[in-house]
Structure 1
Amino acid sequence: MSLFDDLRSAALPDWDDYTRHPFVEQLGAGTLPLAAFQDYLIQDYLFLIQFARANALAAFKSRRLEDIQHSADALATTLAETDLHVRLTASWGIDRSQLDAAPEKQATVAYTRYVLDCGQVGDQLDLNVALAPCAIGYAEIGARLAPRLEEQPEHPYRDWIAEYASEEFQQAARDAIAHLDVLAARSLTEQRFEEVATVFRTATRLESAFWQQALDGAVE
């Protein structure tokens, strides 16, 4: 059992709410309103900017080259994700300057600043646990939804699903899981587990709120 497995078990209802949120299920079925997906993708672009900062912070706080390398790899994965967002939003006539100028919504601010706060106040383990629901959860969702692409050759959200089902993103998630174990081996105690489990649970709930923000935005 990895630390991630233990964290997910400790937050299982929240994890299921996140990875099987109505937004995710509708996206997988191809029935998600385009307005909800567009709202989500713009906010997720803004989210990824802060997520990139968090990975850069993880590198800054590292004292070992292997930890710096992991953070650099995670940062590269995050930057690559933004290419998908820019490409899809461009197809709607929204260029990068408009993306950069879009205002962050409440759930976007709440989640990203929580992750950054974990990094600023806590240690490497705190920060990597706060990053884990996104880094690992999206890979889980992508892998689960991938069969829908064969079932629906004209799936409207093919590019998004394919991105997170890709071997590159799946490997990044495996690396994140392995790195959590490396960090845990250095400092994890029973008390620390309870502390980081709270961090993991909170970040997971904020992921669900991020999905919900997009659904709510589509009906405003």
Structure 2
Amino acid sequence: MLFTDHLFEGSKDIWGNYLNHPFIKEIGNGSLDKEKFKKYLIQDYLYLKEYTKVYCMGVIKSDTIKNINMFYEGANGILNDETANHISYLKGFKENILEVENYQYHKTNESYTSYMKSISMTGDFKEIIAVILPCTWSYSYIGRYLKENYSEFENNNFYKSWIDTYSSEEYTKFINEWIDFTNEVCKDLSEKEKQKLISIFRKASIYELDFWDMAYDGSELSYV
């Protein structure tokens, strides 16, 4: 059993909730309120900025060129590829991208990104992998599920570009490389190390579900 299989098995109850979440289902059939989606995009754009910093800590804590390059390429992909779809949608909503960077983080977003950054500061590069993997992997998991199960809504779906991004061959290749990388560097873990990484992965997976809850609530920031 590969280590990533252990990670998935330890959080599959949470991941099942992603696919049944109303935000995800309504993206799939195109019925999601666009204002909710805009607020989600803003928070996710801010999230990606902090998420990239965690990858950069992976660069710092890696001790081989191969590992350094893996985290570097991951950060580069977020900044130059994943954010492109966010920017396209946000411009369609008449949002000024430079101003979006100065918007306030929702408390759920702040809590999640603070957790990831704390792991990146106190943990080793394997712990960084465990905390960043749920985001990228689950988006691929969700994107491919929507592509396969909501194709009847595809042509007139406002969210088609979002679905296409996370179900694309390029994104699938990206996450498969990370899954292979994770299995390679985590193949000789002690039981204590394995359980710690599984715990980090599960907590980050729970935060992902919290993020979808925040997105579907669609409320304004709960503090100033």
Provide the TM-score with structure 1 as the length reference.
0.94
Structure 2: stretches of 5+ with no match in the other structure: none
**Matched-pair identity in %:** 26
1:141–1:164 Cα contact (<8 Å) kept: yes
In 2, the alpha carbon distance for the partners of 1:101 and 1:107 equals 17
SS at match of 1:146: helix
Q: Who is 1:140 aligned against?
A: 141
Q: Who is 2:52 aligned against?
A: 52
Provide the TM-score with structure 2 as the length reference.
0.93
1:142–1:165 Cα contact (<8 Å) kept: yes
Q: Residue 112 of structure 1: CA displacement?
A: 1.0
Point out the more displaced range, 45-54 or 147-156: 147-156
Q: Residue 150 of structure 1: CA displacement?
A: 5.3
Structure 1: stretches of 5+ with no match in the other structure: none
Point out the more displaced range, 47-56 or 151-160: 151-160
SS at match of 1:101: coil
1:142–1:162 Cα contact (<8 Å) kept: yes
SS at match of 2:101: helix
Stretches of 4+ moved more than 4 A in 1? none
Pick from 173, 181, 184: which aligns with 2:183?
A: 181
Q: Residue 35 of structure 1: CA displacement?
A: 1.5
Letter in 1 for 2:177: D
Q: CA RMSD in A?
A: 1.6
Q: Who is 1:84 aligned against?
A: 85
Letter in 2 for 1:159: S
Letter in 2 for 1:67: N
What are the Cα deviations for residues 105-143 of structure 1, in whole angstroms up to 9, with x where unaligned?
011111111111111111111110100111111011111
Q: Who is 2:170 aligned against?
A: 168
In 1, the alpha carbon distance for the partners of 2:101 and 2:178 equals 28
